[in-house]
Amino acid sequence: MMMKSMISILSAILLLSSCCKKGHDGDENKILLLKVDYQTHAFEGGTELSFPGPKTPLTIQAEYKAPSDFGNISLYYKERNEKIFDGSIIWMGKGQINFPYNFQSASQFDRVMTADYASPAKGFENVFNPNQDSFDYNPVWASVQSLMVVRDYLQNNPESKVQLFLYTPSVGIGDPADWDWILILKK
């Protein structure tokens, strides 16, 4: 009888602790950044950023320094006042992504094994497009829509737009082979 009571008490403690942990996960803002090659639309990698605290919407604020020789593009999670992307831009050279520091390679991301196609319910929002160029985002999205992490983000935040921009580290006589789409999803 004593053993059954102990097991019941331990079970209740485990159940309560798992509920508390799950509630804690809800107090975190997660952002997924994915990198897709501009020319081939091949998925190259990604990273997830976490910001503790109450859930907030995601408004992206861009700060751009045009490259006369050296330029820069920085994106901020406005509601949290946190940098989520920083990359240099070099005139007749090649800049680099300075933040986030590391993207996991594409091979480290699992894909769903189904043939269905998941589209973002609210479409796309280009968060940095200084020349107001027109782009077809569907080939870019097609390369990442089957990633399990993308499906998880879409399921957890179905009403959000996929935010993206074209990162061009080389301009002037820039090489489009250096360019990448950066897609941003919020959980």
Q: Which residues contact 169 (CB under 8 A, 6 or more apart)?
A: 87, 88, 89, 90, 94, 95, 96, 97, 178, 179
Q: Is the pLDDT of residue 14 over 50?
A: no
Q: Quick one: pLDDT at residue 5? A: 45
C-alpha span between 69 and 79 (Å, rounded): 32
What is the pLDDT, as a whole number, of residue 130? 87
Answer yes or no: are the C-beta atoms of 175 and 89 closer than 8 Å. Answer: no
Domain boundaries, the chain: 29-186
What is the per-residue pLDDT for 131? 87
CB atoms near residue 187 (< 10 Å): 20
Average of per-residue pLDDT across 28-51 = 97
Reported as a single tens digit per residue, the pLDDT across 43-82 is: 999 999 999 999 999 999 999 999 888 999 999 999 999 9
**Left, alpha or beta for 42 (phi > 0: left; psi -120 to 50: alpha)?**
beta
- The tokens for 122 are 């609210």
pLDDT digits (tens, 9 = 90+) for 102-130: 999 999 999 999 999 999 999 999 999 98
Predicted model pTM: 0.84
The pLDDT score that the predictor gives to residue 166 is 97
